Structures are given as structure tokens and as C-alpha cells.
């Protein structure tokens, strides 16, 4: 039988190379209504779900389960969910839209500092260190572009798949 240790070490090395400094999902585009219909969540339901960008987790809350355990191999995914939850708890939906609709916010540092107490220390620290992910300036002028490698961003813009105001322009059209 083959020794699994070298293969596991190689997988871990590859995972860390690909995801060690990146956020993989910053938005979830699936329709969570189907999951909610199939799960039939009730007040005594407990759910374990992959965090991804946190969108589906937040959607499941609409059904009021007793607990949702959001898990992900990449801790940055949980940091995104925590930021979304902190913005929702703060109740400033204009800021929420600036961060996750527009993908940038001119007062990002001030807002992230004010939200730190609503997040775990790890998430608050990560957000503080990576506040410029929400900067409206530079080659990739929004949160939705910052995590794309530059070659993909340039290619997508050149093909018209995404554009500098995306996704806010798209959302306004829908």
C-alpha cells in the first residue's frame, strides 16, 4: 500500500500555494432558495455548511435554524462572512452596499476599525491588514477584482466579461 504522508504533504503545499494569500470566493452566485426548500429548516435545525462567501449562510438565517456552523478550509472565507455580519449588525446598509455591491468604500479604514468589536480578533486583524482590498483605486479597483490574478482581470476586462464598475453596474440594471 502506498504511503499517504508524502501525498498529503504535497496536497497541503499545493493548497497553501494556491490559497495561502488569497480569498477564493468573495461572492456566491448560486441560488440558495433551492437549498432552503430541500433542507426545510426549522427552529430546532442545526446546519453545517461550507462558508464560501457567506451568502448562503446568511440566506439560511431567514428560516431561523437554531445554529449554523459555517466551516471552510480557508479562514479568509470566514473573515468575509464575519465582515458581512458585522455590517448587517451595524445596520448601515449603505456601507454594506458600498463594501459588497460596489466593492469599494472611501471610508473603509474608519469603518473597519469601528466594526472590529463585532468580529473575532483574527477577522478584525485580517480586515485591518487588507483594508485596501476595498480601495476604489488602482488596477483592480474593487474587492471583486483584488483577488483575481492581474492576468485574469485584464483578460476579463478586455473581453467585456467584467468592467471597472462591476458588479454594482450590473446590480443596478437588474
Task: Give the angle 81-114-168 at the CA atoms, nearest 5°.
Answer: 55
Confidence of residue 170 (pLDDT cuts 50, 70, 90): very low
In a domain, 14, yes or no: no
pLDDT for residue 101: 81
Q: Where does residue 131 rank: exposed (0-12), middle (13-18), buried (19+ CB within 10 A)?
A: middle
* Residues facing residue 46 across a β-bridge: 67
Of 3-12, 99-108, 118-127, 128-137, least confident by mean pLDDT is 3-12
pLDDT number for residue 171: 45
Would you say residue 94 has pLDDT above 70? yes
* Domain co-membership, 100 together with 62: no
| Residue 56 is assigned to a structural domain of this protein | yes
Same-domain status, 107 and 170? yes
The count of other CB atoms within 10 Å of the CB of residue 19 is 15
What is the number of structural domains in the chain? 2
17 located within any domain: no
86 assigned to some structural domain:
no
Lowest mean pLDDT: which of 17-21, 107-111, 147-151? 147-151
Amino acid at each position: 500500500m502506498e504511503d499517504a504522508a508524502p501525498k498529503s504533504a504535497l496536497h497541503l503545499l499545493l493548497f497553501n500555494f494556491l490559497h495561502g494569500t488569497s480569498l477564493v470566493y468573495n461572492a456566491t452566485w448560486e441560488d440558495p432558495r433551492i437549498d432552503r426548500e430541500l433542507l426545510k429548516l426549522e427552529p430546532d435545525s442545526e446546519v453545517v455548511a461550507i462558508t464560501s462567501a457567506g451568502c448562503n449562510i446568511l440566506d439560511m438565517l431567514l428560516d431561523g435554524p437554531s445554529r449554523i456552523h459555517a466551516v471552510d478550509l480557508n479562514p479568509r472565507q470566514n473573515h468575509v462572512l464575519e465582515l458581512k455580519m458585522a455590517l448587517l449588525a451595524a445596520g448601515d446598509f449603505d456601507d454594506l452596499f458600498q463594501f459588497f455591491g460596489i466593492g469599494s468604500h472611501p471610508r473603509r479604514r474608519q469603518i473597519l476599525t469601528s466594526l472590529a468589536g463585532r468580529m473575532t480578533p483574527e477577522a478584525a486583524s485580517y480586515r485591518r491588514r487588507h483594508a485596501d482590498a476595498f480601495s476604489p483605486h488602482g488596477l483592480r479597483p474593487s474587492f471583486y477584482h483584488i483577488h483575481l490574478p492581474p492576468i485574469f482581470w485584464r483578460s476579463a476586462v478586455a473581453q467585456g466579461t467584467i468592467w471597472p464598475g462591476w458588479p454594482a453596474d450590473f446590480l443596478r440594471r437588474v
